[in-house]
């Protein structure tokens, strides 16, 4: 195995080494058949076994019964920003705008119909998610869209709102904690953070939604048709879905989502403590502490020069991907499921050392 370093990239991001090794072997040869998993038909029995096991494990990890379907879609979470209103925005939809991604989702919704922004924290540069007391919900809304973890701004919704048709973009925390799927109408996320490579969007749809679907141009854009075709209206990203299956197996072996959540809390705590104990050298960017993300930890240093030096010196110490999002700056350490506790320990200790040398 080649040497692997700590990659704090926000996505595409680190994947578990065991998953990569198994997937690489299967790319060359699937179960001794003399061909790899990316080289066989999506209509054949080999891939059928893969997708069936992936659906089964996904349902079991998320605790989903018969009420919801598991879909593996394409086009990134961004495509879902359009598909959701295309299918389900009949009269008006509510959107909570808490950061870059929910702002984009709302803008795409607007392009499709009436959107009500229930609250926005843009005036404070998205340093928090608006609190429920500020929300102006429309009781008639077709659905309520939230982003449960804002990847760019580093905050999350500690608890999800209750709504008859709650739609959740969980891209940057999918399967990093348990999700209350029984209270969610549609849950989706790009795979490239916690679940696999870019190119697959894991989508969980409550089946009663299909009855509310509008007419869409072709089956490709229809949730119901994708569900009927087991996500194979056209050729799906077969190898990507295979890697998701390996990640699901890995998550099962780790003890499931509640176990992952505990580890993720422990990892994030190490870095937040390094911020909070730095006598102000590092400043967290999130103004409401209980909203601090466990996945994307965002903070600033006293100057841009020090930020550059921090990123470069960290890279020399085998920690990469720490530069903040292009429009936000500062540092962002993404600590998805595959980041080991040791990676967060190494970063926390590097931060302490750097601060003591530069303060
Ligand atoms: C929360 C969130 N939603 C949506 C997206 C967009 O994903 P994609 O690039 O797969 O369209 C991202 C990408 O980082 C994200 O973090």
Which tens digit of pLDDT belongs to each residue from 265-286?
A: 999 999 999 999 999 999 999 9
Q: Is 221 a catalytic residue?
A: no
Residues 185 and 198 in one domain: yes
State whether 247 and 274 are in the same domain: no
Check whether residue 177 and residue 319 sit in a common domain: no
Does one domain contain both 32 and 83?
yes
pLDDT (mean) for 140-153? 98
Q: Residue 1 — pLDDT band, cuts 50, 70, 90?
A: low
- DSSP letter at 310? H
- Pair (227, 351) in one structural domain: no
236 and 164 fall within a common domain? yes
3 is catalytic: no
Instruction: Tell me: do 80 and 178 sit in the same domain.
Output: yes
Domain end residue (candidates: 206, 235, 253)? 253
Which 3 state secondary structure label does DSSP give 133?
Answer: helix
Mean of pLDDT values over 120-125: 97
Q: Is residue 10 part of a domain?
A: no
* Ligand 1 and 76: CB distance under 6 A: yes
Q: Is the CB of 263 under 6 A from ligand 1?
A: no
CB distance 183 to 100 below 8 Å? no
Paired strand residues for 203: 71, 188
DSSP 241-303: HHHHHHHHHHHHHTT-HHHHHHHHHHHHHHHHHHHHTSTTSSEES-SSGGGB-SSEEEEE-SS
**What's the pLDDT tens digit per position in 204-250?**
999 999 999 999 999 999 999 999 999 999 999 999 999 999 999 99
Residue 2: pLDDT above 80?
no
Examine the domain organization and report whether 279 and 181 are in the same domain: no
Q: How many CB atoms lie within 10 A of CB 348?
A: 20
| Domain identity same for 297 and 319 | yes
Is 75 a domain residue? Answer: yes
- Which pLDDT belongs to residue 3? 86
Q: Is 157 in the pocket of ligand 1 (CB under 6 A)?
A: no
324: domain CATH number is: 3.90.1150.10
Measuring CA to CA, which residue among 212, 231, 244 is closest to residue 84? 212
Residue 78 CA: which ligand 1 atom is closest? Answer: 11
Overall domain count for the chain: 2
Distance 336 CA to ligand 1 centre (A): 14
Alpha-carbon distances of 332 from 8, 35, 294, rounded to whole Å: 8, 40, 12
CB 151 less than 6 A from any atom of ligand 1:
yes
Are 46 and 236 a contacting pair, CB within 8 Å?
A: no
Whether residues 47 and 177 fall in one domain: yes
Task: Report the pLDDT value the prediction gives residue 328, as an integer from 0 to 100.
Answer: 84
Task: State if residue 9 touches ligand 1 by the CB under 6 angstroms criterion.
Answer: no
Q: Does 12 sit in the ligand 1 pocket, CB within 6 Å?
A: no
With a pLDDT cut of 70, the percent of the chain lying above it is 100
Nearest 5 degrees, angle CA 13-CA 16-CA 22?
Answer: 120
**205 Cα–ligand 1 center, Å:** 18
Task: Determine, yes or no, domain membership for 289.
Answer: yes
Instruction: Write the pLDDT tens digit of every residue in 57-88.
Output: 999 999 999 999 999 999 999 999 999 999 99
> What average pLDDT does the structure give for the chain?
97
Pairs from 17-26 (Cβ < 8 Å, separation ≥ 24): 18/250, 19/243, 19/246, 19/247, 19/250, 19/338, 22/246, 23/239, 23/242, 23/243, 23/246, 26/242, 26/246
Considering 219, 253, 287, which residue would you say is the last residue of a domain? 253
| Residue 6 domain flag | no
At 186 the three-state DSSP class reads strand
In a domain, 183, yes or no: yes
Instruction: Identify the burial level of 311 via C-beta atoms within 10 angstroms of its C-beta, where 0-12 means exposed, 13-18 middle and 19 or more buried.
Output: middle
Range of the domain at 309: 256-358
Which of 106, 104, 112, 107 lies closest to 85 in space, CA to CA?
112
CATH number for 143: 3.40.640.10
Domain boundary (218, 253, 288) is at: 253
Q: Is 193 a catalytic residue?
A: yes
**The CA-based dihedral angle spanning residues 322, 324, 330, 331, taken in that order and rounded to the nearest 10 degrees:** -30
Q: Is 1 within a domain?
A: no
Look at residue 116 and tell me whether its pLDDT is greater than 90: yes
Tens-place pLDDT, residues 29-46: 999 999 999 999 999 999
The answer to whether residues 267 and 220 belong to one domain is no
**30 belongs to a structural domain:** yes
Ligand 1, from 10, 75, 76: best to mutate by most atoms within 8 Å of Cβ? 76
**C-alpha 45, offset from chain centre:** 30
- How does 20-53 read in b/e, with b if 16+ C-beta sit within 10 Å? bebbeebeeebeeeeebbbebebeeebbeebbee
Task: Based on the fold, state whether residues 268 and 224 are members of the same structural domain.
Answer: no
The verdict on residue 3 lying in a domain is no
């Amino acid at each position: 195995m080649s040497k692997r370093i700590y990659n704090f990239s926000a996505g595409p991001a680190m994947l578990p080494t065991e998953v990569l090794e198994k997937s690489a072997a299967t790319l060359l040869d699937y179960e001794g058949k003399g061909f790899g998993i990316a080289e066989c038909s999506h209509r054949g029995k080999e891939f059928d076994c893969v997708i069936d096991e992936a659906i089964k494990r996904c349902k079991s990890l998320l605790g989903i019964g018969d009420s919801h379907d598991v879909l593996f879609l394409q086009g990134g979470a961004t495509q879902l920003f359009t598909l959701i209103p295309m299918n389900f925005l009949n009269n008006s939809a509510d959107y909570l705008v808490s950061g870059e991604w929910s702002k984009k989702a709302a803008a795409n919704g607007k392009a499709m119909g009436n959107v009500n922004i229930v609250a926005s924290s843009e005036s404070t540069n998205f340093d928090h998610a608006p609190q429920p007391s500020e929300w102006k919900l429309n009781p008639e809304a077709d659905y309520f869209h939230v982003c449960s973890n804002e990847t760019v701004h580093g905050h999350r919704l500690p608890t999800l709102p209750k709504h008859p048709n709650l739609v959740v973009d969980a891209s940057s925390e999918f399967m990093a904690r348990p999700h209350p799927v029984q209270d969610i109408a549609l849950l989706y996320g790009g795979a490239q953070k916690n679940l696999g490579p870019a190119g697959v969007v894991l989508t969980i749809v409550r089946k009663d939604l299909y009855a509310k679907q509008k007419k869409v141009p072709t089956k490709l854009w229809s949730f119901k048709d994708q569900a009927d075709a087991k996500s194979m209206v056209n050729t799906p990203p077969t190898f990507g879905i295979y890697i998701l299956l390996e990640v699901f197996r890995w998550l099962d072996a780790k003890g499931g989502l509640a176990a992952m959540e505990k580890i993720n809390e422990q990892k994030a705590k190490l870095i937040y403590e390094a911020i909070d104990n730095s006598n102000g050298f590092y400043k967290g960017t999130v103004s409401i502490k209980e909203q601090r993300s466990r996945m994307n930890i965002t903070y600033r240093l006293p100057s841009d020069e020090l930020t550059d030096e921090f990123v470069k010196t960290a890279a020399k110490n085998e920690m990469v991907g720490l530069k903040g999002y292009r429009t936000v700056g500062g540092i962002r350490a993404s600590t998805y499921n595959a980041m080991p506790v040791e990676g967060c320990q190494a970063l926390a200790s590097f931060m302490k050392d750097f601060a003591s040398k530069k303060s």
